[in-house]
A and B are shown apart, each in its own frame.
Chain A
Amino acid sequence: DTGVSQNPRHKITKRGQNVTFRCDPISEHNRLYWYRQTLGQGPEFLTYFQNEAQLEKSRLLSDRFSAERPKGSFSTLEIQRTEQGDSAMYLCASSSVGTGSEANYGYTFGSGTRLTVV
């Protein structure tokens, strides 16, 4: 297994454009998380999926953001009408739901997609 894969690694876009990021989790993991990390801050939770169901969205996830996980495999995060404030590192993580809490926190993070909105 190659771990959690995120593409692209870097994205530069003009303000107002739409962008889409992809995350391929570890194949046997059924939970997938998106976090956003801005400069000088720790990652902040955006949303998560269990299989194909999106179970929670943070209030940070405005209407311009949408995430999907069709068939419970890879996930996409789309940002419409990008703004300069969307510039950040977008991190994906996956984990499996186990029989104990420790298993549930067995996160594996991807290397992230760095978005720059100019």
Chain B
Amino acid sequence: AQSVTQPDIHITVSEGASLELRCNYSYGATPYLFWYVQSPGQGLQLLLKYFSGDTLVQGIKGFEAEFKRSQSSFNLRKPSVHWSDAAEYFCAVGPLEYGNKLVFGAGTILRVKS
């Protein structure tokens, strides 16, 4: 079955520092991969997605992610974190079957300290 693992439940970084959030997936074929962000009490906002082509994808708010097939990973990165980036981040994989459902990881809560 498809699954997504986000190994870090919480991460704390200083404002201005770089950020990397880890995501590993289990899927039998080439997946579609996504990163979403969720602020408290809010819905999910898409940061970026990977379908094919260049394995380094750029997203909104200065985020990028790199697809590494050999490691089954799709880690999210940002070179300089801002206090407003504090939120919960979810990695998701899209199974290649009718319905285009998403399977989400458990999320990583990002805290930014000033």
Contact = CB atoms under 8 A, between A and B. Distances in A.
Contacts of A41: 106-107
B102 A45 contact: yes
Contacts of B96: 101
A35 B43 CA distance: 11
Given A42-B92, A105-B34, A55 B102 contact: no
Interface string A100-115: 0110110101111010
Given A42-B92, A101-B32, 8 more contacts: A40-B9, A43-B90, A55-B99, A91-B44, A102-B49, A104-B100, A110-B43, A111-B42
A56 B98 CA distance: 10
Contact of B94 (A44, A55, A56, A105): A105
B71 to A, nearest CB: 21
B43 A105 contact: no
